[in-house]
C-alpha cells in the first residue's frame, strides 16, 4: 500500500456527535415551513449533504426553495445548538494527537458551513491537530463530488494515493473513491455498515484508525536517542518529540500539535522563518545551568520541497577530542 501522508476527515458523525441537534433542527424546520412530516431516520439519512441539496432529496414532491430551507435551518440551528449539545466521540482527541505525532497531516472536509465547522473545531479543542478545514461554502460541488478532496490535495501538493478519507456516510466514501483516495467508513455515526461497504476499511471505533494506517511518518529509531529531537511542519506546528525532547521541555506540558514559534525570541523566529523559506540549516551552542549544548536546526523535505524543521539538541562533553583528517 502507498504511504499515507494526509487524512481527510468528515466532522458530523465521524468526529462530533451532532445527530441529535441536526435532527431536532431539521424537524423544527419542517414544522415551521409546513412541510410533509419525515421520520428522524429519514432526516438522519440526509446528514452529509449540503443544506441546499436536502430539499430536492427529502421533499421531491414539493417545489421548495432550497435557500429558504437552508436559511430557516441555520436560524433554528442556533436555538438547538446549546452548550454541551455536541460532544466528540470517545477517543477522538487522543487519536488525533497520536496521528499528528506520527506526522500525518489532518484535515476536515464537511458539508456544514465553514464558520460553523471552524467554531466546532475551536470549541471542541481540535485546533492543535487540524491543519486545514473545508466547509460547504468553500466548494462549488459538495459530497459525493470529489471537489473537497481535490482542493485539499491541491493545497498540500499531494496526490490521491497519499490520502485517505474517513467518514460515516456513503457520501464521504464516494467522495473519496471519486477522487481516487483510500477510504475508511466508521459505523458509530449516521450511516449503516451496509451503506459503507464500498469503503476500503470499516472501523467501529475511531480509536482503531491508527491500526489501519500503521506506516508511521516519523521513524521510531529516534525515540530513545540520547539527544533531544523535535520535528515541526511548515507552519511551525510540532509533529514529533522523542523521549529526550519531552523530558527537556516537560515543564511546558504536552507540546505535540502546538506551535514552536511563540516559544522563541523575535530573533530566533526570524531564523526559523528563513530556514523554512530557504531550506537551510543553523547551528549554535548554548550553556544553561552549567551544561553546554549544541543545537542543530535544519529543514526537512518531501519531494524536494521544504516540509518542516528538525531540531537536534545534544550535550557537549567538557572534554571532547578533535581530529583533523
CATH code, 235: 3.30.450.20
Within this chain, do residues 27 and 65 fall inside the same structural domain, yes or no? Answer: yes
Please report, for the domain that includes residue 105, its CATH number: 3.40.50.1000
Residue 266 near residue 282 (C-beta atoms within 8 A): no
Please report, for the domain that includes residue 30, its CATH number: 1.10.150
Q: What angle do CA 275, 281, 282 make, to 5 degrees?
A: 95
The secondary structure element, H or E, covering residue 56 is helix 54-58
The verdict on residue 276 lying in a domain is yes
Using CA atoms, how far apart are residues 198 and 178, in angstroms rounded to an integer?
12
Using CA atoms, how far apart are residues 23 and 47, in angstroms rounded to an integer?
9
The verdict on residue 320 lying in a domain is no
pLDDT value at position 136? Answer: 92
pLDDT tens readout for residues 52-61: 999 999 999 9
Residue 247 near residue 230 (C-beta atoms within 8 A): no
What is the full per-residue pLDDT of the chain (325 aa) written as tens digits?
Answer: 468 889 999 999 999 999 999 999 999 999 999 999 999 999 999 998 889 999 999 999 998 999 999 999 999 998 998 888 899 999 999 999 989 878 899 999 999 999 999 999 999 999 989 999 999 999 999 999 999 999 999 998 899 999 999 999 999 999 999 999 999 999 999 989 999 999 999 999 999 999 888 555 566 678 889 999 999 888 888 878 889 999 988 888 878 777 888 878 899 999 999 999 999 999 999 998 889 999 999 999 877 889 889 999 999 998 888 899 8
* Number of structural domains the chain divides into: 3
The verdict on residue 1 lying in a domain is no
Which value, in Å, is the radius of gyration of the alpha carbons in the chain? Answer: 23
Using CA atoms, how far apart are residues 34 and 147, in angstroms rounded to an integer?
34
The verdict on residue 114 lying in a domain is yes
- Domain that includes residue 27, residue range: 19-80
pLDDT value at position 1? Answer: 45
Handedness of CA 234, 237, 239, 240 (dihedral sign): positive
CA 312 from centroid of its chain's CA atoms: 27
Torsion-angle region of 308 (φ positive above 0: left; ψ -120 to 50: alpha; else: beta): left
Within this chain, do residues 175 and 268 fall inside the same structural domain, yes or no? Answer: no
pLDDT tens readout for residues 83-140: 888 999 999 999 999 898 788 999 999 999 999 999 999 999 999 899 999 999 999 9
Within this chain, do residues 93 and 199 fall inside the same structural domain, yes or no? Answer: yes
Nearest alpha-carbon partner for 246 in 265, 263, 223: 223
Q: Residue 119 has which C-alpha cell?
A: 467554531
Amino acid at each position: 500500500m502507498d504511504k499515507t501522508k494526509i487524512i481527510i476527515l468528515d466532522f458530523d458523525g465521524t468526529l462530533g456527535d451532532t445527530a441529535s441537534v441536526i435532527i431536532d433542527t431539521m424537524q423544527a424546520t419542517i414544522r415551521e415551513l409546513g412541510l410533509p412530516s419525515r421520520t428522524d431516520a429519514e432526516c438522519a439519512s440526509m446528514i452529509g449533504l449540503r443544506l441546499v441539496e436536502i430539499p430536492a432529496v427529502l421533499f421531491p414532491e414539493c417545489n421548495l426553495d432550497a435557500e429558504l430551507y437552508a436559511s430557516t435551518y441555520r436560524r433554528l440551528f442556533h436555538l438547538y445548538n446549546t452548550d454541551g449539545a455536541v460532544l466528540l466521540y470517545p477517543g477522538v482527541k487522543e487519536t488525533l494527537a497520536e496521528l499528528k505525532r506520527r506526522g500525518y497531516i489532518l484535515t476536515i472536509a464537511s458539508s456544514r458551513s465553514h464558520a460553523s465547522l471552524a467554531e466546532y473545531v475551536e470549541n471542541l479543542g481540535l485546533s492543535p491537530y487540524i491543519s486545514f478545514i473545508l466547509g460547504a461554502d468553500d466548494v462549488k460541488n459538495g459530497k459525493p463530488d470529489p471537489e473537497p478532496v481535490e482542493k485539499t490535495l491541491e493545497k498540500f501538493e499531494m496526490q490521491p494515493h497519499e490520502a485517505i478519507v474517513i467518514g460515516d456516510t456513503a457520501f464521504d466514501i464516494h467522495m473519496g473513491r471519486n477522487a481516487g483516495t483510500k477510504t475508511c467508513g466508521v459505523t458509530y455515526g449516521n450511516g449503516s455498515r451496509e451503506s459503507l461497504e464500498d469503503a476500503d476499511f470499516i472501523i467501529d471505533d475511531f480509536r482503531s484508525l491508527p491500526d489501519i494506517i500503521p506506516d508511521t511518518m516519523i521513524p521510531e529509531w529516534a525515540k530513545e536517542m540520547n539527544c533531544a529531537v523535535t520535528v515541526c511542519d511548515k507552519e511551525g506546528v510540532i509533529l514529533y518529540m522523542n523521549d529526550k525532547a519531552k523530558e527537556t521541555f516537560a515543564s511546558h506540558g504536552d507540546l505535540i500539535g502546538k506551535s514552536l514559534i511563540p516559544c522563541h525570541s523575535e530573533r530566533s523566529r526570524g531564523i526559523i522563518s528563513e530556514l523554512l523559506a530557504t531550506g537551510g540549516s543553523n547551528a549554535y551552542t548554548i550553556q544553561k545551568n552549567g551544561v553546554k549544548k549544541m543545537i542543530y536546526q535544519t529543514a526537512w523535505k518531501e519531494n524536494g520541497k521544504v516540509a518542516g524543521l528538525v531540531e537536534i539538541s545534544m550535550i557537549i562533553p567538557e572534554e571532547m577530542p578533535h581530529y583533523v583528517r
